[in-house]
Amino acid sequence: MPGSTSLFANRLLKIAGWFNLAIAAGMLVLDAVLDRSNWTTISMVIAAGLVMIFAARAVPNDERIEQLKLKAAKAGLLLGLLGAMLANFYATLNGKPMPWSAFDLMIVILLIALGSYRYWRWQDARPHP
């Protein structure tokens, strides 16, 4: 089977992404218990996990799924960067530094992209009247 290796690799990529998110959750709990802050490392692990989940191919990998992922990536970039620009503008008006790091922005963009992809895929699978 020529597609079985690719299917296995994609599942492995998704599992690694969810594992990264579980590690990040454990790190957040541990940091809260030990009363220390290590958000830079945690945000990097979260962003890496979200990239792995978003980059893994879907099981029925056809043109429509690829179009939905591209549309979701564009929506995530547009809305995430717009939010970052507004946050930066608001912070500049108040004389404060940018409130988000690059990994924070990446997390926001990927969450928007994953959320919109899941919604559009659900909407695409519904029966049309």
Q: Where are the domains of the chain?
A: 1-57, 60-129
pLDDT at position 54: 92
Q: How confident is the model at residue 1 (pLDDT cuts 50, 70, 90)?
A: very low
* Closest CA relative to residue 45, chosen from 70, 18, 73: 18
Cβ proximity of 23 and 45 under 8 Å: yes
DSSP single-letter state for residue 1: -
pLDDT at position 30: 87
**Picking from 32-41, 69-78, 89-98, which range would have the lowest pLDDT averaged per residue?**
32-41
Q: How confident is the model at residue 82 (pLDDT cuts 50, 70, 90)?
A: very high
Q: How confident is the model at residue 24 (pLDDT cuts 50, 70, 90)?
A: very high
Q: Percent of the chain beyond pLDDT 70?
A: 95
pLDDT at position 52: 93
Strand, coil or helix: 2: coil
pLDDT for 78 beyond 90: yes
- pTM of this structure: 0.83
**Picking from 25-29, 34-38, 61-65, 108-112, which range would have the lowest pLDDT averaged per residue?**
34-38
What does the alpha-carbon distance between residue 12 and residue 15 come to, in Å, rounded to a whole number? 5
pLDDT at position 41: 87
What does the alpha-carbon distance between residue 53 and residue 62 come to, in Å, rounded to a whole number? 18
Cβ proximity of 100 and 84 under 8 Å: yes
**HEC per residue, 29-60:** HHHHHHCCCCHHHHHHHHHHHHHHHHHCCCCC
pLDDT for 51 beyond 90: yes
